[in-house]
Structure 1
Amino acid sequence: MREVVSIREANQHLSRYLERVEQGAELIITRRGKAIARVLPIEAQPHLSDTQRAARERLRKRMSDGYALGGTRIDREVLHERDRGQEPDR
């Protein structure tokens, strides 16, 4: 079941609408008659396709590995020695 409510209505009766969402309803929230958000129960979220899942995994791996931007990696201790005006020991 899909329900359409304004932001004002959703704000005033949020707990009531969240109970309906828990029971499986889909809630569309509008601002000035235009849909701006959709609230779904966690279980009702669409499952990712294999392609989407693979893309998400590649993104996670890239984010955890980081991007090589070139240059040299500076040790934290060396960085602090520079801040104190000391010449780094290498």
Structure 2
Amino acid sequence: MTETIPATEANRHFSRLLREVEQGKSFTITSHGQPVARIVPATAEAERRRRVREELMARLRAQPAMEPGIGPWTRDELYERD
């Protein structure tokens, strides 16, 4: 669960926020009511990146390298000659 807090409060209570983040809590920091940053547990972010990377690699492996009927090209087709 993500809690939204203003930057001034985050600044005043930064040590407490870090302790709570270590326990798994996440925060969205706002400035003038607009979200500007997120503080999330490092392990959660690393896990999300790993999962996204795996999804991308699975999609790339399933995608053909070239569309049927395209390529391979000859040297003359690759380089224009005047």
Please indicate, yes or no, whether the TM-score normalized by the shorter chain is above 0.5.
yes
TM-score, normalization: structure 1? 0.53
Q: Where does the alignment leave 5 or more consecutive residues of structure 1 unmatched?
A: 53-90
CA distance in 2, matches of 1:40, 1:19: 11
Structure 1 consecutive aligned stretches of length 4 or more whose deviation exceeds 3 Å: none
Secondary structure at the counterpart of residue 49 of structure 1: helix
Q: Where does the alignment leave 5 or more consecutive residues of structure 2 unmatched?
A: 58-82
How many residues of Structure 1 are paired with residues of Structure 2 in the alignment?
52
Q: Percent identity?
A: 38
Higher relative contact order (CA 8 A, sep 6+): 2
1:1-90 mapped onto 2 (5 Å cutoff): 1-45=1-45, 46=48, 47=50, 48-50=52-54, 51=56
From the CA coordinates, give the structure whose radius of gyration is larger. 1
TM-score, normalization: structure 2? 0.58
In angstroms, what is the RMSD of aligned CA positions? 1.4
